[in-house]
Structure 1
Amino acid sequence: MLGASVPKHTAHLLDLGAGVGTAGLVAMSLDRTHQLTLGERDSEIALIAEANIRENGFAERARVITADITSPTARREAGFPENAFDCVIANPPYFDAGRGTAASGAYRQGARHMAHSELELWGKAAAGAARASGLAIFVYPATGLAALIAAFDQRFGAIEILPLAPRPGQPASRVLIRGRKGSRAPLTLHATHYLHGDQGNEFSQEFSAILMGQGPFDW
């Protein structure tokens, strides 16, 4: 859903903490962006991302930069462009530190567990990378919404929040948040969207094509 949310005609997209590049490559495959940069701190995972770029036929339009995106020094030393991207997307580590089942391996732990307070660093990184009037789009658990809004506040305006819930009548479990750098427009809270119907495990008509990588998510 994150990659499918990238606006059409995005010239240059950055995926922060990209892992193997899934979200960014979804945007490329849907022809939502012309150029893609993946930022990933783990060198072994970055090699997989590079292989995914090649195997999907995007080697001439996509690249990987290996750096800790939360560190300004690391970004600078790795040659991360500043104020350069039309859209910045991210799926930050989603378990608050000390909660959830600990993942095996240092990479998986770092990719899944992070204190909500550290979202501030991700917001700074996104704002530093986005061009003037550029967009940032994050997906995150609904429990971290307050920290997510704080990370966007004073950096992005025209903030839009889209709650995602498993089924009608259930609380939102995830949120998509989108903001425009430098805007002063007020916040918009969209109606909740539901992944499934009242019964069964099939995805709703709205999300089935999106989650199969076959269609965009325009919201």
Structure 2
Amino acid sequence: MSENLSKDAFLGGKLHLLQPKSGYRAGVDPVLLAATVDARAGDRVLDLGCGVGAAALCLGARVPGLVLTGVERQPVYADLARRNGGAAFEVVTADIADLPLHIRERQFDHVLANPPYYKRSDSRAARDLTREAALGEETPLADWIKTAAKRLAPKGHAHFIHRVERLPEILTEMGKRLGSIEVLPLSPRAGRMPELVIVRGRKNGRGAFKLHAPLVLHEGQRHEKDGDSYVPVVKAVLRDGAALTF
């Protein structure tokens, strides 16, 4: 293994991912996103901006028999995703705004996305270029949603995780193309404002909008000791690869 890479355990060791030691590294966000996807064996899954493959491969570890495809524009991360997933994970090096024809000709039952969180018009860019590419928005969020909706099969679901302050934009853009939209806020602790949201929409969906009660991630009112303090349902996702129903 290269001295610039680490091999990190996810899902309590059920999955191991090669990642750069510096630059952008997958955390809990794609793991939580994958846990909310109600997929079944045989479903076709597209992970937009897949990075090293964390979301798609966490989903694949929980639900065997999926047809997994990832799109990643940074060649170094796309290569790591291929190494992490092997033959079970098709990874295409491309920008989500310029997908190759063989992807544009296909439809998927689920599209996952953990887009860059920050508009650089009102935040500072990261010094590391790979980290900045993962965190700083270049392709507008509206284009991520448009691409996800286009690639969905009828009745297929799009699944996004993002910062809560981008929720109005997500709802506006999803509302143009998807229905049966549901939002799960993620709060760091009880009594704290949500910082992230997981948003799901269905192609041709007709269900009413649903705003779910926030999922509290950590026990207690504040961080008081070393080690994780995740609530049992979140610990089951992160350590055991459990599903997260909403």
2:37 aligned with 1:6: yes
Q: Report the alpha carbon displacement of residue 198 of structure 1 after superposing the two structures with TM.
A: 2.2
Amino acid at match of 1:65: V
Q: Deviations over 1:66-119 (max 9, x none)?
A: 1100x2xx2134x2144510000100001221444522333321210117x911
- Point out the more displaced range, 165-174 or 199-208: 199-208
In 2 relative to 1, CA 217–82 (structure 1 residues): closer, same or farther, beyond 3 Å?
A: farther
TM-score (structure 2 length as normaliser): 0.79
Match of 1:62 among 89, 101, 107: 89
Give the letter for the 1:188 counterpart.
K
Residue in structure 2 matched with residue 216 of structure 1 by the alignment? 243
Instruction: Tell whether 2:36 aligns with 1:36.
Output: no
Runs of 4+ in 1 over 4 A off after TM superposition: none
1:93 alignment partner, one of 105, 116, 120: 116
- The Cα shift of 1:6 comes to 1.5
Unaligned runs of 5+ in 1: none
Identity of aligned residues (%): 34
1:142 match? 164
Q: Calculate the aligned-residue CA RMSD, in Å.
A: 1.8
Q: 2: CA distance between counterparts of 1:93 and 1:33?
A: 29
Separation (CA, whole Å) in 2 of partners of 1:131 and 1:82? 11
Residue type at the aligned position of 2:99: R
User: Are 1:203 and 2:230 an aligned pair?
Assistant: yes
Q: Deviations over 1:12-64 (max 9, x none)?
A: 1110000110000000001166110011111121101000012xxxx1x3210
Residue of structure 2 aligned with 1:76, choices 82, 100, 105: 100
Query: Which deviates the most, 79-88 or 11-20?
Result: 79-88
Structure 2: which 5+ residue stretches go unaligned?
A: 1-31
Length, aligned pairs only: 209
Aligned to 1:124: 146
Distance in 2 of aligned mates of 1:161 and 1:32:
26
Give the residue type in structure 2 aligned to 1:112: L
Describe the superposition over 1:151-205 as per-residue Cα deviations: whole angstroms up to 9, x where unpaired: 2112110000001101111100000000101123221000111001224450001
